[in-house]
Structure 1
Amino acid sequence: MSVPIANLPFGQRPRERLLALGPRALSDSELLALLLRQGRRGESALDMAAELLAAHGGIAGLAAARPEELARRNGIGAAKAAAIIAAFQLGTRVRHSIDTAARLESAADVVGVAGPLFAGARVERLLVLVCDAQNRLRQKVFVAEGAVDQVAVPVREILNTVLRHDGRAFAIVHNHPSGDPSPSLDDRRATTLLIEAARTVGLRFLDHVVLAGEEWARATPVLRAVE
């Protein structure tokens, strides 16, 4: 006899397990059950998920199924079929995005990504470029904005931003509206502090670049090799 998900012990329900342990802790059936949301008479969403996976030979076969093929199955219908297809398509798009993401291997790469974001800026702004373990760009996040000629480097906020976006490495960029990209003594001191702080939380600091129109300079003490 099938047991409805709502009647399962709290720690065995897919949604609660995902929230407590993360998605990697769930089986294919549990993840699919979350998409289905509800089962049908006599079967829970978990039962239906297991049946779908078995019918298509596993997750890869299900990903290749056509919407109309899924919609014809008892208890699925157009809405659940569309949700399944949409989930697989999102996964495909994420993989494609990662494969084509910019890789930050030099200061010039950092400038190429960040430069357009500072066009026309009249005050100093500080940008964090969050990367994965292979230095592929994941997110671009502005974390501070200051006066015409000065912005503080918020070390804690920078690190929190990288961790919040599941980053493993990062670069920072700020601009000098004065037109002179030469790093100040404070810029270099802040960079050294950030390098040490990143190391303590297991993050790799890639670079700190200062922009001034079309000109730029590095505020990083030494060129850091990609690990």
Structure 2
Amino acid sequence: MIIAIAQTVSERKLSIILDNPMLWIMNSLELIAFAVGLIYWGKFKNSTVKWFILFLGYNFFNEMAAAVFYVLEWVADSNMIFYNFRYLIYFGLLFSLYYNKLERSKFRKAIIGLSVIWLFVYVYWLSVSNFWIQFALVPGVLGGFFLMGIILFYFVESISQRSVRGIQNDFFTYLSLGLLLEAVVQLPVLITIHVGWAQITEYSDSRNDFFNTIKQVSFVASCIMYFVFMFGFYRSKGP
């Protein structure tokens, strides 16, 4: 059984993962952020933050499952389904978290409208694309821009209604800062990689170095984001 599995392993794909220390650091920090969230679970168990903590755990194990499918090549390009399905959970969860957090009616209505638009785009993409082998670039980018707008709603409401201490004690402050940082970096990187890098077919093409560099930058942004989450779990107060 072990020999049979070993024979299916793509050495080139495995080396891509093993030779990328930033990828390992990013995934490790995500696991640590999940663990820190569990440590402070008692603080957030009566709030919606607990769902975000659970999402961190889901996202980490989803990444691991996608990596296994990628390396073992159980089904060609089948790991795309892990990322495509993740978008539905990711944006659905975050949109609902901010909807429940915000108090202004106009902001809540705007979140509902953005959620409906995003869900329509996502369902349309499903109807015209191969969910297994195509990456959901348009839903991912659109959801990222919508999320940035929703985070702006949160900051506008918080600054106008809360004291500095109240803002510092709210986990959503750290959640928003982390997500905003990643979105600012990830969105252009996501578009560049899946539109530009996808056109390069030669492994020796010198442009591969450029695209690999900006991908590493996105990993660094994610690492900083997880540090922000960890500090937020520690610094913020429960409801």
Q: If each structure's strand is expressed as a fraction of its own residues, which one has the higher value?
A: 1
TM more than 0.5: no
| TM-score, normalised via structure 1 length | 0.29
Q: Which has the higher contact order (CA 8 A, sep 6+)?
A: 2
Q: TM-score, normalised by structure 2?
A: 0.28
Bigger radius of gyration among the two? 1
